[in-house]
């Protein structure tokens, strides 16, 4: 019996999280991938004239085969494929938006090596939660297809870099020495030449042939040590890196200390003169306390929610942007830089905040840029390999009685000032500290965020909470 696209997708074990459809590589069979692609494209054909689709990949070894199934499914529908090969997700999104075509990015971003994912873009930008529901609900049958990829087109990567060359002055990074932590980033072949064209000296670091799942929200201790060691060895003004698909920045100051993603976003927004922001509830409260913005909208975690909030802000503000705790920066409106227009790119981007912050370091060191902000510090980490349902059940239980959670966590005498259940459970205490628990939307992980008036306390709170939860949930 012929199965519908809905059935094939529903039985695959692959589901949408906070950013795209994610699952085990072993579950991404050709038929499952083709079903996702066909369902997405059929939906786009109901709204747009679709004759082409843009496809790109990250450096995971499983990504080319998944892209080939996407391409084959598109061609079976009579849709031509613009295949851009390995490039950052924002580069693919930007090219597709300029061409007015839908796009599919094959990437698992930062999640473990045994997983991968698919990100979908409308001709106008990221898909919505309604689009996600439509993709998993299509009743049409899977039509015959043959997995195949056309030749790589370099235009997507070239136009992405040219986007920034056109608005940033050639000597804006003159005199700066940048460390480029390449690992397996999808943009690693692009960044060095761009930074050099802006005047910087660039030293490439630790390119790998194996995929490295860099998580910009939970930087591995090994990478913390690398940053400090590299800074001491080379005397860098900054170190730049990204997650696997180049939409989340990882930036270290001149001391090799990695900056939190929401601090990167805050500094970038100020550099660009943004007037209104949309950010998830997990982001640092220095955003409001710094007084730089006319309005700050708080959302659930995930770029679709940030984008929805940007759309709501747009009628009332001349310039809008969003970012997440992972640092991915979404430019929600056109802005003027150096008297030149920079077009909106409402999807997470690592490169714009990288250029903005590092270029500013020519006048004010990165550590000093951070020190000038209100003294609010965040830390985060996660428990891996814990079922999402287990995390959700636990959070639902303690939300009903926060005293149970406080007893379990043994944080000492504390009084709850407010509870926020916008996304997970966020507890604000009368002493100004914040603890936020939520299941990851992309992997079987329970994440913990903490905010305090000093970094050591924030780090200590995350460790205390996760140590207690590991014993409880093991």
Q: Do residues 139 and 150 lie in contact, with contact meaning Cβ atoms separated by under 8 Å?
A: no
How far apart CA 401 and CA 274 sit, in angstroms, is 40
- List, in order, residues 6 or more apart from 379 with CB less than 8 Å away: 449, 450, 455, 458, 459, 461, 462
Whether 51 is a known active-site residue: answer: no
Can you point out the beta strands (E) in 25-127? 52-57, 80-86, 103-106, 115-122, 125-126
For residue 72, the SS3 value is helix
Measured CA angle at 229 (ends 226, 231), to 5 deg: 105
Please report, to the nearest 10 degrees, the dihedral formed by the alpha carbons of residues 17, 19, 23, 29 taken in order: 120
Measured CA angle at 17 (ends 282, 355), to 5 deg: 55
Alpha helices in 326-372 (DSSP H): 351-360, 366-371
Q: Do residues 357 and 267 lie in contact, with contact meaning Cβ atoms separated by under 8 Å?
A: yes
- List, in order, residues 6 or more apart from 370 with CB less than 8 Å away: 253, 259, 263, 267
Tell me the backbone φ, ψ of residue 321, rounded to 5 degrees. -155, 170
| 100 Ramachandran zone, left/alpha/beta (phi>0; psi -120 to 50) | left
Tell me the backbone φ, ψ of residue 184, rounded to 5 degrees. -115, 25
> Which residue among 35, 109, 319, 440 is the active-site one?
109
Q: Please tell me what DSSP assigns to residue 372.
A: T
Neighbours of 385 (CB within 10 A): 9
Positions marked active-site: 109
């Amino acid at each position: 019996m012929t199965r519908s696209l809905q059935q094939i997708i529903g039985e695959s074990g692959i589901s949408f999280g906070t950013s795209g459809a994610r699952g085990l590589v072993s579950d991404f069979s050709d038929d499952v991938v083709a079903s996702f692609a066909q369902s997405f494209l059929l939906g786009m054909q109901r709204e747009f004239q679709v004759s082409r689709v843009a496809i790109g990949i990250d450096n995971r070894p499983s990504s080319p085969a998944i892209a080939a199934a996407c391409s084959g499914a598109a061609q079976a529908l009579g849709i031509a494929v613009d295949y851009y090969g390995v490039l950052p997700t924002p580069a693919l999104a930007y090219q597709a938006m300029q061409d007015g075509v839908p796009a599919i990015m094959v990437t698992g971003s930062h999640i473990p090596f045994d997983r991968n994912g698919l990100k979908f873009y409308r001709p106008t930008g990221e898909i919505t939660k309604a689009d996600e529901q439509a993709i998993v609900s299509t009743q049409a049958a899977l039509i015959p297809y043959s997995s195949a990829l056309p030749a790589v087109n370099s235009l997507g990567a070239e136009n992405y870099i040219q986007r920034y060359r056109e608005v940033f002055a050639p000597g804006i990074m003159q005199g700066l020495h940048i460390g480029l932590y390449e690992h397996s980033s999808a943009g690693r072949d692009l960044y060095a030449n761009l930074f050099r064209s802006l005047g910087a000296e660039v030293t490439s670091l630790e390119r790998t042939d194996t995929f490295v799942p860099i998580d910009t929200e939970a930087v591995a201790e090994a990478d913390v040590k690398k940053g400090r060691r590299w800074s001491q060895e080379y005397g860098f003004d900054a170190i730049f890196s990204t997650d696997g698909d180049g939409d989340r920045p990882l930036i270290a100051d001149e001391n090799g200390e990695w900056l939190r993603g929401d601090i990167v976003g805050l500094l970038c927004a100020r550099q660009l003169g943004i007037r209104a922001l949309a950010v998830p509830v997990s982001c640092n409260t220095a955003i409001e306390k710094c007084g730089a913005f006319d309005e700050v909208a708080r959302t659930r975690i995930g770029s679709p929610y940030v984008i929805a909030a940007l759309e709501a802000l747009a009628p009332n503000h001349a310039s809008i942007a969003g970012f997440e705790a992972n640092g991915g920066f979404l430019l929600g409106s056109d802005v003027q830089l150096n008297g030149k227009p920079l077009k909106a790119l409402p999807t997470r981007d690592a490169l714009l905040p990288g250029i903005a912050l590092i270029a500013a370091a020519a006048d004010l060191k990165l550590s000093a840029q951070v020190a000038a902000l209100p003294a609010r510090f965040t830390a985060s980490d996660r428990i891996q390999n814990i079922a999402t349902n287990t995390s959700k059940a636990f959070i639902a239980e303690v939300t009903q009685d926060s005293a149970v959670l406080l007893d379990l966590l043994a944080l000492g005498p504390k009084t709850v000032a407010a509870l926020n259940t916008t996304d997970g459970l966020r507890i604000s205490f009368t002493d100004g500290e914040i603890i936020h628990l939520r299941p990851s939307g992309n992997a079987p992980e329970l994440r913990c965020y903490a905010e305090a008036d000093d970094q050591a306390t924030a780090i200590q709170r995350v460790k205390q909470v996760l140590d207690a939860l590991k014993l409880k949930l093991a």
